[in-house]
Amino acid sequence: MEILKSVDKTYTFSEPKNILKDTYKGNNEPIYLIEGNSIIIFDSILKELNNDSLDNIPDYFLKNYIHCYIHIVDFNGFPQLWDVYGVDKYIAQGIEIMAFEQGKIGDYYFRNFDSDIKDTLNKIWSDKRKYDIEIKKDKGYISSVPLNVIKPKRDLSSLINLLKKQTNTWFKKYDKHDELYNKIVELAYGFSND
């Protein structure tokens, strides 16, 4: 009884750190991985998770860290949207970057995107303030359906160069053996095909 009375009643145990709870919202620092005909925009929080912890975190948490994935394919002489996954804001940024990188992008009517993605893409493809819009006959996946092509009105070359430089520096610092890079690409591709 004496021992119990001597314990300070104001003492509280610290809560154990919960990596999912503490990192769930991310760092709000997007990293733009722009490579050829794809772009992945992801949260820099992924640097704080090693490969083992990435494997142990359920996909529904990891989806919060992959903000956007866009993949373009070339068909009938025009780059055309093939895979899209993400959040509206980042999809809009990714489309603009990819359209500038590719020179222009054809639309997505052939693909079976979910309704939220289609709504986002419809807004982008009708934005005449940001894009010059052309209609090409017999250039899409279906010969009788015209291809809607967008081309950005503003020059993004300096922004894209800066983003690529920042991304390269980020990967050199946090991913010496390409493990994180490979995991990010795998996650982004997987989420776009869910």
Give the model confidence (pLDDT) of 114-131 as tens digits: 889 989 999 999 999 999
CA trace torsion 77, 82, 84, 88 (10° rounding) = 40
pLDDT, average across residues 3-10? 46
Residue 15 has pLDDT above 80, yes or no: no
Residue 193 has pLDDT above 90, yes or no: no
Residue 52 has pLDDT above 80, yes or no: no
Burial (CB < 10 A; 0-12, 13-18, 19+), residue 22, is: exposed
Averaged pLDDT score across all residues of the chain:
82
Burial (CB < 10 A; 0-12, 13-18, 19+), residue 156, is: middle
Rounded to two decimals, the pTM is: 0.82
Which pLDDT does position 124 carry in this prediction?
Answer: 95
Q: How far apart, in Å, are the Cα atoms of 93 and each of 70, 80, 117, 120, 162?
A: 10, 16, 14, 11, 15
Are 57 and 68 within 8 A, CB to CB? no
Burial (CB < 10 A; 0-12, 13-18, 19+), residue 157, is: exposed
Which pLDDT does position 110 carry in this prediction?
Answer: 58
Q: How far apart are CA 106 and CA 11, in angstroms?
A: 64
Write down the number of H helices and E strands in the chain.
Answer: 8, 7
The per-residue pLDDT for range 61-81, each reduced to its tens digit, is 778 889 999 999 988 778 999
Count of CB atoms situated within 10 Å of the CB of 24: 12
Least reliable range by pLDDT among 88-97, 98-107, 159-168, 179-188: 179-188
pLDDT, average across residues 18-45? 80
| Domain boundaries along the sequence of the chain | 30-192
Residue 22 has pLDDT above 60, yes or no: no
